[in-house]
A = this chain, B = another copy of it.
Amino acid sequence: MRLAEGLGLVRGARPLLGTFLRPRAAVAAAAPAPARARSQALVYAQHGEPARVLQLKDLERAELGHSGVHVKMLAAPINPADINMIQGTYALLPDLPAVGGNEGVGQVVEVGSHVTSVKPGDWVIPADAELGTWRTDAVFSEESLVKLPRDIPLLCAATLSVNPCTAYRMLADFETLVPGDSIIQNAANSGVGQAVIQIAAALGIKTINVIRDRPNLQEVVDRLTSLGADHVITEEMLRKPEMKDLFKKVPKPRLALNCVGGKSTTEMLRHIQQKGTMVTYGGMAKQPVTVPVSAFIFKDVKLRGFWMTQWKKDQPQNKDRLTGMILTLCDLIRKGQLTGPACTQVPLKDYRIAVEASMKSFISSKQVLTM
């Protein structure tokens, strides 16, 4: 393992770096090598509690070669999936040791002679999960990066490829929605939830937003309303007869987005339109999705799931679709129709503070590591 670290072989997990680094044995034999440039990275060599297993390490940077892209990372958020990946509880686990972080924005410093899609100065974000974004800089493959316009705010860029993309795809891929249609979602105050509100509002789609009751309820209602939410209700309200009044103002939703599970989900499903779709993309309540048989048979509801990571991996043509989506989202950002989440910027070296803050519940500010 020491060898691997010393040679910059610590991975943003995938065979990614392996594709243009020479094999370990070959590198070990190629003495005397010139001293390589070094990077700092948040590395974990075993799964466990992030604050304990993450270490800021000095790594030798991989060679640029013909097809490498040297990227200086600018900002990289801490997402729940990053934490679960380090804890070893996520559905996708990198080979260890690995560099933490799956999202972020960087700036291209230098490119290999065969690289055509990006040039020095460009902003780039990961095309896929497992890039390992919590580091000062690295040499990545061209295929692993997507170019981003530079005229959007840095923190929007750093947080674009997971939550807004998830929101966009769920609104686009499951039901054909037209202006005036409605959707319902729980966890409406989450990163995805807020992106859903804004993208839907930009498309003329009404949103019914379900949140948990909480001490600062009115504050959250006001914030979501200011983002474009048409209706914000608590989970308790979802079970009340007053919902009938709401559906005098807005059509029954054709699409429900579920990030909770348990009772919240069953109740939300009751309000969906005949033949509507519910998409599950999270399970914050740590309870399963429970559906009356009659909803399937007599209401013909469709239940689906969505995972951005899998979407990115799934189709060869996805990089074009990803690029197209990114440009659309950047356009919304430029028009002021999509704002980034509330962020707290934390220097990379203070990562422990950021990691711990990111794991507190009801935290409404995203922790973003800056390099």
Binding site for B on A (CB under 8 A): 91, 261, 266, 279-283, 288-307, 310
Contact = CB atoms under 8 A, between A and B. Distances in A.
Contacts of A298: 91, 305, 307, 310
Given A279-B296, A296-B303, A302-B302, 8 more contacts: A91-B297, A280-B297, A281-B296, A283-B292, A289-B296, A298-B310, A300-B304, A300-B310
A292 B289 CA distance: 6
A294 B261 contact: no
Contacts of A310: 298, 300
A283 B294 contact: yes
A263 to B, nearest CB: 12
Contact of A282 (B288, B293, B305, B307): B293
Nearest to A92: B298
Most buried by B among A261, A288, A295: A288
Contact of A297 (B300, B302, B305): B305
A289 B288 CA distance: 10
A283 to B, nearest CB: 3
Contacts of A300: 304-305, 307, 310
Contacts of A266: 288
A298 B306 CA distance: 8
16 contacts: A279-B296, A280-B293, A280-B297, A283-B297, A288-B290, A289-B292, A290-B290, A296-B303, A296-B305, A296-B306, A297-B306, A300-B305, A300-B310, A302-B302, A302-B304, A303-B304
